[in-house]
Amino acid sequence: MSYLLVCVGLVLLIAGGEALVRAATSLAQRLGLSPMVIGLTIVAFGTSLPELVTSLQAALRGQPDIAVGNVVGSNIANGLLILGAAALVSPIVVGHRTFVRDGLLLTGATALAIALAFGSGIGRIEGLVLVIGLAIFLTVTMRDNGADEADDATLPLGPLPLTLLLIGGLLAMVFGAGWFVTGAADVARQFGVSEAVIGLSLVALGTSLPELATSIIAARKGQSAMALGNVIGSNIFNIVGILGITALITPLTVAPQILAVDLWVMAAVTVLLLVLCRTGWRVTRWEGALLLACYAGYIGWLAL
């Protein structure tokens, strides 16, 4: 049964990602928003819903290691696996102005998460600080609606098809990710894997599959700004949104393993992502292969 849940979850994630990219592209045209802004907000938040649901459920069940590990592991997967896979499909063009703005926001969010984690835990006050950071992120992003690149345009959908695709794509990814995580976690527990490692690897990978599907599909369709915006926006939302909202509902403790290693891996991935984006203002295919190799090494270390 667990293996069936994994397979069905993957199918729903791929189908949902295709629908969401099509709807988001059409919505950008109708609202006069750049693909980067849509990727940073609607697509990023939509594909991060599985992380939010999973972390909330884990925290409420008394499994903070899975809740925190899910966020940290998802950010590592987004920066290495997802951006790397998208760059392999098509080189990612980086806009100068959005890189400066969103790079600073991502760096600030990562530094804030590390600072809060090394306190007495992420309680409700810390959660409120993070949610305020989410509000700042949304305000800055929507005010600066600049298009740094011109992606290939398609004819916009009508209001009804657009709404159905948007809602249907999000629901497909939420249910698909949930089933994948449930099946994968059950299989992992049979082999005696700890909750922290499950959160950092299987749960993080499973809840990041919507971002993976969406970014690859966006790159294949020539929507490189949306693919990059999805990765950066998801990482910011994971920290200030998911950790913040979860901590507001129930305070979180951070496992020693995550404090000692994985938070710093997340910080290193953030720095690497920014360096690659700044070098030549694009992420090339060989750089995408480098990112994938780094993720394989990280997962191998977790397995050991």
> What digits encode the pLDDT tens for the residues 153-169?
455 678 888 888 888 88
pLDDT above 90: residue 72: yes
Regarding predicted confidence, which is higher, 55 or 47? 55
Residue 36's pLDDT is what?
Answer: 67
pLDDT above 80: residue 20: no
Task: Give me the mean pLDDT over the 131-142 stretch.
Answer: 85
Regarding predicted confidence, which is higher, 43 or 251? 251
Q: How far apart are CA 221 and CA 198, in angstroms?
A: 33
Tokens of 149: 């690149």
User: Strand 282-283 vs strand 92-93: parallel, antiparallel, or unpaired?
Assistant: antiparallel
> What backbone torsions phi and psi does residue 293 show, to the nearest 5 degrees?
-65, -40
Q: How far apart are CA 217 and CA 22, in angstroms?
A: 9
Alpha-carbon distances, residue 257 vs 71, 121, 145 (angstroms): 14, 14, 40
Torsion (CA) 159, 164, 170, 174 in degrees, nearest 10: 160
pLDDT digits (tens, 9 = 90+) for 198-240: 778 777 877 777 778 778 888 887 777 777 887 888 899 899 9
Which residue from 225, 237, 219, 217 is spatially nearest to 44, judged by alpha carbons? 237
Domain borders along the chain are 34-152+194-303
Residue 236's pLDDT is what?
Answer: 92
CB 56 within 8 A of CB 247: no
In percent, how much of the chain has pLDDT > 90? 26
Torsion (CA) 242, 83, 275, 233 in degrees, nearest 10: -30
Strands (DSSP E) along the chain, which ranges? 92-93, 282-283
Identify the DSSP state of 277.
Answer: H
Torsion (CA) 123, 258, 57, 63 in degrees, nearest 10: -90
- Residue 35 identity (one-letter amino acid): P
Residue 35's pLDDT is what?
Answer: 67
Question: Domain 34-152+194-303 falls in which CATH fold?
Answer: A middle domain of Talin 1 (1.20.1420)
Tokens of 196: 């922290």
Identify the DSSP state of 262.
Answer: I
Regarding predicted confidence, which is higher, 284 or 2? 284
pLDDT above 90: residue 15: no
**pLDDT category, 146, cuts 50, 70, 90?**
low
pLDDT above 70: residue 150: no
Mean pLDDT of the chain, nearest integer: 82
Residue 152's pLDDT is what?
Answer: 46
Task: Give me the mean pLDDT over the 94-99 stretch.
Answer: 72
CB 81 within 8 A of CB 292: yes
CB 301 within 8 A of CB 79: no
Residue 295's pLDDT is what?
Answer: 94
Task: Give me the mean pLDDT over the 95-123 stretch.
Answer: 84
Which residue has tokens 């939302």? 237
